Amino acid sequence: MDRLDAAALAEITRVTLGHYESEAQDFWRGTHDHDVSQNIDALLGAMIGSGPFRILDFGCGPGRDLRAFCQRGHEPIGLDGAAPFVRMAREYAGVEVWQQDFLSLRLPDEAFDGVFANASLFHVPRQELPRVLRELHATLRTGGVLFASNPRGQNEECWNGDRYGAYHDFESWSRLVQDAGFEGVDHYYRPAGLPRERQPWLASIWRRPQTSR
């Protein structure tokens, strides 16, 4: 695939965010009761210590998982690029939510114990992923944990309607995350208990090691 220039990246951001902004209420109705407790447990289970943990919900949407982290006694902050989601998440979860698109992040250094990227990082074009992953690495404290769940594929990237996505297999995804300085903790496929061909989601857990590269 040819390298995307600044105009193409801006268009990807504009159209993808436009989709979520126009479908915000339908998205909420369609996802608010999804059970992602397996993913939340995977992040929290990899944490060092007992908490409460400071967690960045990267691509928080309307705030479902922010509230879940609050209910478990943790201190989440949300981040999303879609303005309606930011408003909805602040109201629903009652926590701080930052409006930032994924290609123009402004994250504090070593501020979080965990990053929860549930169904969000696949919207980052592959050429930009090394930079974005390094930024997430930098915002984690030493020993901090990155959880990522993305629809898996054969390393293609394309438009799916008005949403842009990059779909990695585990080997390719692992190289990208490890090159950003993370160490692997675990991975699994979702939904649990189904044959692999019916498990479209790849979940993986990574740690910022004691000695960063």
What DSSP assignment string belongs to 3-67?
Answer: PP-HHHHHHHHHHHHHHHHHTHHHHHHHHTT---HHHHHHHHHT-SSS-PPEEEEET-TTSHHHH
Does residue 39 sit within a domain? yes
CATH number of the domain bearing residue 138: 3.40.50.150
- In three-state secondary structure terms, 207 is strand
Does residue 140 sit within a domain? yes
Q: State the total domains in the chain.
A: 1
Does residue 183 sit within a domain? yes
Does residue 170 sit within a domain? yes
pLDDT given at position 24: 95
pLDDT given at position 213: 47
**pTM of the entire structure?**
0.95
Q: Tell me which residue range forms the domain holding 185.
A: 6-207
pLDDT given at position 50: 86
Does residue 1 sit within a domain? no
pLDDT given at position 2: 81
Does residue 213 sit within a domain? no
Judging by DSSP bridges, how do beta strands 75-80 and 140-151 pair with one another? unpaired
Predicted confidence pLDDT, tens digits, the chain (213 residues): 789 999 999 999 999 999 999 999 999 999 998 989 999 999 999 999 988 999 999 999 999 999 999 999 999 999 999 999 999 999 999 999 999 999 999 999 999 999 999 999 999 999 999 999 999 999 999 999 999 999 999 999 999 999 999 999 999 999 999 999 999 999 999 988 889 989 999 999 999 998 644
Q: What are phi and psi of 140, to 5 degrees?
A: -85, 145
Does residue 74 sit within a domain? yes
Does residue 212 sit within a domain? no
